[in-house]
Amino acid sequence: MIPSSYPDASEMARLTARMLLEIKAVHFNADEPFTLASGLPSPTYIDCRKLISYPRIRATLMDFLTVTVMRNAGFEAFDNIAGGETAGIPFAALVAERMALPMTYVRKKPKGYGRNARIEGDMSEGQRVLLVEDLTTDGGSKLSFVDAIRETGATCAHTAVIFYYGIFPQTEKTLGDHGIALHSLCTWWDVLAEAKAQQAFNEATLKEVESFLNAPTEWQEAHKN
């Protein structure tokens, strides 16, 4: 069923942050920073994959994501919903179900046998495709998925994520230069605000996380091993 009436963007951001904290998908550790996929340190880590195990939260957030995309991009803007391998696949399926649209998924690289395909499912020339992922940091990984979609002759001008880091200023420019608009539910700033409101972490940890969010590159340089 397509959702039609939901809170405004700021309230959806607050509620999304609250749900991520509730299921302990948010991890703050200033004393022993996490290592990101880039190899750089961070006092923050988020695991959006946990959402698939919580049906009520999962359903609410997929309603939020669907209505956000429709409000921002249009109610008849898409013909196909594509998930990025692997974290985006379940969320793409749930959004596609709500929008009553075909669902496909995009491999990170050709599978190396058979058709050697990157697109799984039925995607055709001229279709308008929405790329769905769990999150984005600097937007870089989305470009390869979008290029694979465009190679089929389909178009892809939008990507939707549950969580957007919101701390790297080049992200939206990187995507915009590639012809992609970003739609998201919440950022680290929303999570930090809700974590403070709930006193979910001690004051020293929250202060260090805020320091990182205000100057992530400088923080990472200062905390490299």
- Which residues have a Cβ under 8 Å from the Cβ of 47 and sit 6 or more positions away? 25, 27
pLDDT at 114: 58
Distances (CA, A) of 131 to 98, 114, 161: 15, 24, 9
> What are the boundaries of each domain within the chain?
9-222
Residue labelled with tokens 């196909």 = 80
Count the Cβ atoms, other than its own, within 10 Å of residue 205: 16
List the alpha helices (DSSP H) in 23-170. Answer: 55-73, 88-99, 140-150
What's the average model confidence in pLDDT over 153-160?
98
Whether omega before 205 lies within 30 degrees of 0, making that bond cis, reads no
48 φ/ψ angles, rounded to the nearest 5 degrees? -70, -20
- Predicted local distance difference test score (pLDDT) of residue 110: 82
By three-state DSSP, how is residue 30 classified?
coil
Q: Write down the mean pLDDT value for the chain.
A: 94
| pLDDT tier at 115, thresholds 50, 70, 90 | low
Instruction: Please choose, from the candidates 75, 131, 139, the residue with its C-alpha nearest in 3D space to the C-alpha of residue 103.
Output: 131
- Please give the pLDDT value at position 112: 66
pTM: 0.94
Percent of the chain surpassing pLDDT 70: 96
pLDDT digits (tens, 9 = 90+) for 13-69: 999 999 999 999 999 998 899 988 778 899 999 999 999 999 999 999 999 999 999
Cα 7 from Cα 21, distance rounded (Å): 19
* Greatest C-alpha distance within the chain: 55
CATH class of the domain whose range is 9-222: alpha beta
**Paired strand residues for 130:** 81, 158
221's CB contacts (< 8 A; 6+ apart) are: none
